[in-house]
Each structure stands twice: as C-alpha cells, then as structure tokens.
Amino acid sequence: MPCRNGSFDNEEMERSEPRNFVLLLLDGIFFRSSTAFWDASTIIPSLIHDLYGSRFLTGLVPTLRYGGWYAPQLLVAKYSERTVYKKRLLLFGYLIVTGSYSALTLLTLFGSPLWLKSSPLLVLGAYGLACIGDGVCGVPWWTLIAKTISPRRRGRLTGYSESVGSLMAFGAGFVVTTIIASGRFGFPDYYGVLFAIGIAVSLVSVVAIALIKEPPSLVGGQSGTSFFAFVKKAPMILKENPSYTRFVITKGLLMCHFLSLPFCITFARDVVGLPPQVVGEFISFQMVGGMLGSLVLGHLADRSGTRSAMILTAVGTFLIPCLPLICSLLANAVLVSPKSILIRGLLSATYVLIGLANVGSLIAMGNYVLEISTPQDRAFYVGLSNTLVFPASFLPALAGASLKWIGYEILFLMTAVIVGIGLVCAIRLDEPRALSHSEREKETNRWSLV
C-alpha cells in the first residue's frame, strides 16, 4: 500500500502492530494512572472547595475539564486532517498538559494559602490550560489508534489499558489518602505533591507515544479547504448519517451527568460530614469501577458490538445521580444517620459508577465513532461529536450558581431525568456492525491510514 512520504504496506503494518499495541497500551495505562492525582471529580473540586469555599467556582471545575476537552476538537480535527503523522500533534498536547500541571505544582507548593485564595483566576487558568491540552490530544490519539491497530483489537486495547490503568489508579487512591492524612504536608502543599507524582507517572505515556511506529497518512499533507468550509460539512454529515446523529444526541444527553458530578464530593463533605481524606477513598472506588468497567466494556465492544457497550455505559451513568439522591432522601427522612454505613456505601458505589462512566466514554463512545465513520472523515467525526456536546460542559457552573436555591435533591433529580432520557436513546441506537453493506463500507478496511 503506497503512501505519501514513503511506503508502508499491509505486511509492514502487521509486523508493527504488536509493538504499537504494547506502546499504546503503556500510554493508556500510565496516562490513566496519572489522572488519579488530578481527578476532576475529587481532587480538583476538593482543592477549589478548600481554597475558596465557593459552589460556583467548584462547579467551574468540570466546566473547565470537559469544556477544555471539547472546545478545540474541530480545530484540531481540521489540522489533523492535513498532517501526515498524528503523533506529533499528540505529543504537543501532552506538552501542554505536563506544563500546565507543573505550573499548578509550583503554585500549590510555593504559594501561600492566603495568596492562592486571592488568585482563583491563576489556579483555575492553569487547570483550564491543562484541560485544553488534553483536548488537543483527543483527535490525534483516536486517529493514531485507527491507523496502527486493526478494528477487532481496538476494544481490547482500550479495555486493557483502562483496566490496568484503573488498577494502578486504585493504588494511587491509597497514596492520596496517605499523603493528605499523614500530616507531613500542610495545606495546600499536599496537593502540589499529588500533582508532582501525577506528572512523573504521565511522562511514561509521552515516551511510549514517541516510540510508536506510525505509517504516513494517505489523506494528510494537503492544503485542504478553509476551516469554515470544513465546518460546513457538519450539517451534511448529520443529515446523511442518521445513525451518527442519534449517537450525538445520545452522547449529549448522557454527558449531562456533568450537572451534578462535582457536587457528589461536596455533598459527602458538607452534608454527610466526611473528612477531607475521603477523596482518596473515593478515588480508589472510582478506579475499581473503571477497572471492572473497562474489562466488561472492552470485551462487550469486541464480541457483541459497541451498541451493547453504549447501553451498559448509559445504565451506569443514569445511576450516578440516583444514589446520592437516595442518600439525601434517607437522611432527610431520618431513616438512617448521615454517617451510617449505608450512606457511605451508596456514596462509594456512586464513585464506582463514575469510574464506569468515564471508561465508557472512551471504550463505548470512542469505538462507536470509529466504527460508524468513514476513514477519510474519521477525524472530523470524532471532533464534531465532541464539539456538539460542548455546551453540556457549562452545566456544572450553572448548577453551582443555583445550588444555593434549589438544593442537592433537586439537582440530583434533574440530572437523573435528563440522563434517563439518554438511556432510552442509547437503547434505540444502531449497531454499526449490523448496518447495510453500503454503510458498512465505512469500516471494511482493516487498516485506516488517516
């Protein structure tokens, strides 16, 4: 198979696949592990809560996390379409992530609490830049997988990387608890120590990506159309591919679980009265959910199809707001003590489900897009689906601003209703592998040089 800038035929690609599989596996494992030290549903909300005590600023955390991820997607997709080698763009994104968390490390280790409390824009700005860097990585990471790993092994790759990475992150949860509870580091120094450990772990991912043997793209290296002409493709794709349109709607509804996501930890600390070190315990439970979910979802995606993985992800996502809602109702009805084993168990189960939802967005949603898109438009499909759900990232900030008036119960109930509609939509999705022959041509090539 001749390629621009050289030759990289099927035989050579098959010889390189085991090497690339291992390197991408290492990348996924260590990147997943590193996120435990700056987790967006526990560590960062807890830091912002401790520094500023503001529900609005706490709500900004997932807005920055997911908004930063989604915002650059179409721009990156356009640039990625023109590049012959995707891993260069991926490494650039990793550089932004590492540099931003290095800045946060310096701020929390060497900045006084009083000074940090007067500098929310600096702290949130550094975190937001890290999230944008992560967003830059999204499109080239998926297209790199599509180029180097055959379709029937992609579910196993993402499943194995998430399961082993979650297992390591489970252990990281105990490290977090130990560092915070030990008393050796004061506030906010222990957050800086956590960020520094995360950076060290993530560097393994950078090295792994740099060593991948990537074939040059058939469709890269062209001047291409303007960005606005590129964006104008969106309505045509949504009209011509109704299966993709239904997927985007489903994804958008499921992503509305962001609405209450950062307030699970504040509910546990402010209402239930759990201590600060509980964030380490919840991280461990979250990683258990990620580990078990990745094993199940990876196997399910490869054997039964990505629709089945989407449905299981939707069920888990729906239950996330339901469990803390049950906790609040039980405590308010004085049926159980807020600090009872039942309440703590339900909150721990909530984080298990958050772990499942997190890996589901990668294994189920990510692989669904790869299977339903054409090789030449794959980067655009990935970028478009992420961009269209971008508005959902503002929901947590809106929830934080209104939580004072609506309370936790209404917030959790609203989230459950919206995500419940997403579950119904997930059940009605098409299975990409069962589409007609003309539609299945989108995924017939064993190798997709995009």
Q: What is the pLDDT of residues 148-192, one digit of tens each?
A: 887 777 777 877 887 788 788 878 888 888 888 887 888 888 999
- Whether 4 shows a pLDDT value over 50: the answer reads no
- pLDDT of 219 reads 55
- pLDDT digits over 26-82, tens only? 998 998 889 889 888 788 988 998 888 888 888 888 888 888 888 887 778 777 777
At 334 the pLDDT is: 63
**pLDDT tens profile 212-271:** 988 877 654 444 555 666 667 778 878 878 888 899 999 999 988 888 888 888 888 888
If one compares 373 and 92, the residue with the highest pLDDT of the two is 92
Give one DSSP letter per residue of 253-272, joined into a string.
Answer: HHGGGGGTTTHHHHIIIIIS
Q: How far apart are CA 196 and CA 194, in angstroms?
A: 5
Contact 135, 69 (CB under 8 A): yes
Label residue 413 by pLDDT band (50, 70, 90): very high
190-196: long-range contacts, CB 8 A cutoff, minimum separation 24: 191/43, 191/47, 191/108, 192/104, 192/105, 192/106, 192/107, 192/108, 192/109, 192/110, 193/109, 194/37, 194/38, 194/43, 195/37, 195/38, 195/101, 195/102, 195/104, 195/105, 195/108, 196/105, 196/109
User: Average per-residue pLDDT in the chain?
Assistant: 82
Nearest CA to 410 out of 334, 321, 315 is that of: 321
The mean per-residue pLDDT over the stretch 381-386 comes to 78
DSSP-based three-state secondary structure for 111: coil
Q: At 7, which helix (H) or strand (E)? A: strand 6-7
pLDDT band at 284 (very low <50, low <70, confident <90, very high): confident
109-144, pLDDT tens digit by residue?
988 888 888 888 899 999 999 999 998 988 888 888
**Tens digit of pLDDT for each residue in 399-412?**
888 888 888 899 99
What local confidence, expressed as pLDDT, does residue 27 receive? 93
pLDDT at 336 over 70: no
What pLDDT score was predicted for residue 350? Answer: 94
Length of the chain: 450
For the chain, list the domains and their CATH numbers. Answer: 2-443 (1.20.1250.20)
For the chain, what percent of residues have pLDDT higher than 70? Answer: 88
What's residue 224's pLDDT? 53
pLDDT (0 to 100) of residue 1:
36
Q: Note the pLDDT of residue 117.
A: 84
193 pLDDT higher than 90: yes
Q: Are 392 and 255 in contact (CB under 8 A)?
A: yes
Tell me whether residue 326 is exposed, middle or buried, using C-beta atoms within 10 angstroms of its C-beta: 0 to 12, 13 to 18, 19 or more: middle
